[in-house]
Structure 1
Amino acid sequence: MSDTDFKAAPMQLEEARYSYRNSQQISSQTGLIGYLRADMGTNGNEFWSTWNDYRKDLKTDDFKSEFDDVINSFREKGQFLSDRQTLSQFCDDSQNALEFGERYGAGRDYGVRVNSQDYAYLMRLNPHKGEYNLYCYCYRKDWLDHHLELARRGIRFINPHYKELFRIPDGDHIRISYPDGSHKDRTCRYIDDSHVEVDNNLYHICEFAEIMEGNGNKVIPLRSSLPEQCYIYVQTENKIGIVKKGESGYYKTDILESNEIKSHSEAEAFVDEINEKLNVTPAQRKAMMAGSMFGWQTPAADPKSYDDNGQALKPKHKDRER
């Protein structure tokens, strides 16, 4: 492959977490070869780099030769690794790179993916002086893509009798509530259909269920597709309230006292207006209401259960044999 054949495309959000360090289990499954870390020096025109091995058995001569070509091609004049100013301009254009935002890098990191026939290069870019400007994680492309495909199934949480309770996307969080009333939120990673990492601890999903039940713990999903909070109209009390993700019930507000609410439709329209300003969709509001009332593990607490207008979607049933 010639230098001119290397193309950088915006990273997909599901790929972004693989441009950071992962556990040994995930790194092995995805075919991580190693990663390059570089900064452009005080004046922004240099390129000081270090390489960190992960799988020396995958670092073949063909890979090393190609990797040099990839990095050098994007260091040419006018390319985004040529200097810090060009990198900053590249990142400012949303068509060039994925902005990670608060979920990954508080808006300071951007991601691109470069593919060759056999390898995938996930580049995390940061155009700010005083920070590393590049992390490039190098993978066997077929291994990484296979893992990503499987991970899209989501992470299953079951009870000790293998009844599925809920699923969350790879990288989402759960909340574990303890008998003393305290709780902790944990990050979960997909390993395979029967195994999960919970804050870097590896479990079989049945083992995790047995531990939770044995300790009297309760587990609920904290779906990233839900906002941290939203406003609702509580018709039974004729009040405007606030629902917080992962919590039961609602918080009362002094917004529109009951004597100021003239009709149900007026209150609903008012709540929709407030939520729209907070970028909360009708589907998210309905899911938040359902979670606070019926439990966050229920399908009704997932925005995917509603259309764009917040109307419940009919569940899909398999056709019965006639």
Structure 2
Amino acid sequence: MEIRPLTPEEQKYTYSQSMQLEGQTGCIGHLRGDFAYSGYGFYTTWFDHRAQWKTEEFKAELDDVINALREDKGLLHNRYDMSAFAKRFPKSVFKGNYCTESCFRVDTDKYAYLLRCNPTRGDYNFYCYCYVREWLDRHIDRAKQGIRFIDPHYQEKFRIPDGGKIIVTTAWGEKFEQSCRYIDEYHTEVGNSLYHICEFAERMERNGATYEPKQEEQPPQKTSKKKDHER
């Protein structure tokens, strides 16, 4: 069993998705767990997403995967080993929705297990989202083309990466941001709503609104200070 840090594209799938995305990615469900106050307990709760895919084969494999991760010094052995494990993989660290977390992926022949870990006492310490591997990988690969935004005449205006944001300006000048997710070449989620890309363009025009991509913030550039004798 191989475990590796998640890529930035995969990290989005360590949270619950909309019904459309869960269906396209084959999200079976997720396991939430914590190590109790002591850091050595192990308490879990399972949440169904697509119960029809929770076969006996999958349930047996999930038990095997979790038990393997529970072995001594493993990612899910206890809270302290989780922290030490994550430190060995600096590429696993992501800024999550609530705090900085470490994210990993375990693959088997049929399934993919995406783990989001937070070794903080008092919080839930991990979430394991379980997918049909082929479906998840196919969707992530297609999403790399980005989300297409067009005008009502089907002319492309711009594209943003999956999970990127747009800024909508209303007819009266109010601006607000909306996060967007790739569904397929012709459909996207804007906020909590699903749109055909042409439907979105027509609605914006009808409402007198405009939309543009939000530019991603670049980290500040480090500048080296020269010593006085070097100037």
Q: TM-score, normalised by structure 1?
A: 0.67
Distance in 1 (alpha carbons) for counterparts of 2:172 and 2:81 = 54
Is the radius of gyration larger for structure 1 or structure 2?
A: 1
**Which sits farther off after the overlay, 199-208 or 85-94?**
85-94
Distance in 2 (alpha carbons) for counterparts of 1:76 and 1:157 = 48
SS at match of 1:73: helix
Distance in 1 (alpha carbons) for counterparts of 2:181 and 2:165 = 9
Alignment match, 2:198 = 206
Higher relative CO (Cα under 8 Å, sequence separation at least 6) belongs to: 2
Distance in 1 (alpha carbons) for counterparts of 2:99 and 2:3 = 22
Alignment match, 2:50 = 55
Q: Does the alignment pair 1:15 with 2:10?
A: yes
Runs of 4 or more above 4 Å deviation: none
Alignment match, 1:98 = 92
Percent of aligned pairs with the same amino acid: 45
Question: Over residues 38-69 of structure 1, what are the superposed CA-to-partner deviations in whole Å (9 max), with x where a residue is unaligned?
Answer: 00011111100011111121111111111000
> What 5-or-longer segments of structure 1 have no aligned partner?
1-5, 229-274, 279-322
Q: Does the alignment pair 1:276 with 2:224?
A: no
SS at match of 1:184: strand
Distance in 1 (alpha carbons) for counterparts of 2:25 and 2:19 = 10
Q: Does the alignment pair 1:136 with 2:128?
A: yes
Contact 1:91–1:127 (CA under 8 A) maintained in structure 2: no
Alignment match, 2:226 = none
Distance in 2 (alpha carbons) for counterparts of 1:91 and 1:105 = 18
Alignment match, 2:19 = 24
Contact 1:26–1:191 (CA under 8 A) maintained in structure 2: yes
Alignment match, 2:218 = 227
Contact 2:73–2:85 (CA under 8 A) maintained in structure 1: no
Q: Displacement of 1:78 after TM fit?
A: 1.5
Q: Displacement of 1:92 after TM fit?
A: 2.0
RMSD after superposition:
1.4
- Structure 2 letter corresponding to 1:30: T
> What 5-or-longer segments of structure 2 have no aligned partner?
224-231
Question: Over residues 139-178 of structure 1, what are the superposed CA-to-partner deviations in whole Å (9 max), with x where a residue is unaligned?
Answer: 0000000100110010000000000000000000000011
Alignment match, 1:160 = 152
Alignment match, 1:317 = none
Distance in 1 (alpha carbons) for counterparts of 2:40 and 2:99 = 25
Alignment match, 1:197 = 189
Q: How does 1:179-194 map to 2 (within 5 A)?
A: 179-194=171-186
Q: Report the structure, 1 or 2, having the larger strand content.
A: 2
Q: Displacement of 1:91 after TM fit?
A: 1.6
SS at match of 1:25: helix
- Number of matched pairs: 223
Q: TM-score, normalised by structure 2?
A: 0.93
- Structure 1 letter corresponding to 2:48: D
Alignment match, 2:78 = 83
Q: Displacement of 1:277 after TM fit?
A: 2.7
Distance in 1 (alpha carbons) for counterparts of 2:106 and 2:59 = 15
Distance in 2 (alpha carbons) for counterparts of 1:158 and 1:40 = 48
SS at match of 1:86: helix
Alignment match, 2:168 = 176
Q: How does 1:257-272 map to 2 (within 5 A)?
A: none
- Structure 2 letter corresponding to 1:163: Q
Distance in 2 (alpha carbons) for counterparts of 1:171 and 1:202 = 14
